[in-house]
Chains A and B, each alone.
Chain A
Amino acid sequence: MRIVLAFCLLWMMPVLAWAENDAIALLERMTQAGKELNYHGVFAYQNGRTLQSIEIFHRNDADGETERLMSLNGAAREVIRTNDMVTCINPEGKQISVSRRPLGRGFPSDLPRRVRSATPFYDVVLGDEERIAGRITQELAIKPVDGYRYAYRLWVDKETDLLLKSELLAENGDVLETFAFSAIETNVDISDEDLKPQTSGEEMTWHQSEPRQPMALTDERLISNWDTIWLPDGFSLVASQNRLRAKNGSYVEQRVYSDGLSSVSIFIERIKAHHNHLHGVSHMGAINAFGTIIYSHFVTVVGEVPAKTVEKIGAGIEFNLTGTP
Chain B
Amino acid sequence: MTVNHREMLSALVDGQLQGQELTQAIDYLNSDPSARAEYLRMQYTSDVMHGYTRSVTERPADLAARLSAVLADEPVYRQNALLAKAKVLTFPKTFWKQATGLAMAASVGALAVVGVMNQPDYQTTPMASVVNSGNVVQVATEVNRWTVGEPEIEDRLNNYLVDHNEYAGGAGMFSYGRVVSYGTEQ
Please report A residues at the B interface, Cβ cutoff 8 Å.
30-31, 34, 42-54, 58, 67, 69-75, 77-79, 81, 86, 88, 92-94, 97, 99, 101-102, 107-109, 111-112, 131-134, 142, 150, 152, 154, 163, 166, 168, 177-183, 209, 238-239, 243, 245, 252, 254, 256, 258, 260-263, 265, 267, 269, 274-285, 287, 289, 291, 293, 298, 300, 302-304
CA distance A31 to B126 in the complex (A): 35
Closest residue on chain B to residue A135 by CB atoms: B30
Residues A302 and B170 in contact in the complex (CB < 8 Å), given A73-B43, A74-B53, A276-B133: no
A49 contacts across to B, CB distance below 8 A: 15, 103, 105, 142, 186
- Please tell me if the beta carbons of B174 and A166 are within 8 angstroms of each other in the complex: yes
- How many B residues touch the partner, as a band? 35 or more
Q: Does B152 lie at the interface of the complex (its beta carbon under 8 Å from any beta carbon of A)?
A: yes
Q: Is B40 in contact with A73, judged by CB distance below 8 angstroms?
A: yes
**Structural contact, B182 and A262, CB atoms closer than 8 A:** no
> Does B113 have its Cβ within 8 Å of any Cβ on chain A?
no
Chain B residues with Cβ under 8 A from A150's Cβ?
170
Contact A73–B152 (Cβ < 8 Å)? no
Among B126, B164, B173, B185, contact of A263 (Cβ-Cβ < 8 Å): B164
A285-B178 in contact (CB<8A): yes
B167 close to A (CB within 8 Å): yes
Is the CB of B162 closer than 8 A to any CB of chain A? Answer: yes
15 CB-based A-B contacts, threshold 8 Å: A42-B36, A43-B174, A74-B184, A86-B165, A99-B162, A152-B170, A154-B170, A166-B171, A209-B159, A258-B167, A262-B169, A274-B132, A276-B150, A281-B126, A291-B153
- Kindly identify which residue among B33, B147, B160, B180 contacts A69, using a CB–CB cutoff of 8 Å: B180
List B residues 124-146 near A (Cβ within 8 Å): 126, 128-133, 141-146
- Rounded to whole Å, the gap between the CB of A54 and the closest CB of chain B is 5
Distance between Cα atoms of A62 and B16 in the complex (Å): 46
Give the most central of B141, B145, B183, B185: most A CB within 10 Å.
Answer: B183
Contact of A284 among B26, B131, B132, B178 (CB under 8 A): B178
Beyond A109-B166, A254-B163, A284-B157, whether A179 also contacts B171 by CB under 8 A is: yes
Closest CB in chain B relative to A318 CB, distance in Å: 19
A280 touches B128 (CB 8 A): yes
In whole angstroms, what is the CA distance A303 to B29 when docked? 31
Nearest chain B CB to A168's CB is how many angstroms away?
7
**A77 to B182, Cβ gap below 8 A?**
yes
State the CA gap A9–B103 with chains docked (Å).
52
Check B128 against A281 for contact (C-beta < 8 Å): yes
Q: Are A282 and B128 in contact (CB under 8 A)?
A: yes
Q: How far is the CA of A254 from the CA of B160 in the complex (A)?
A: 9
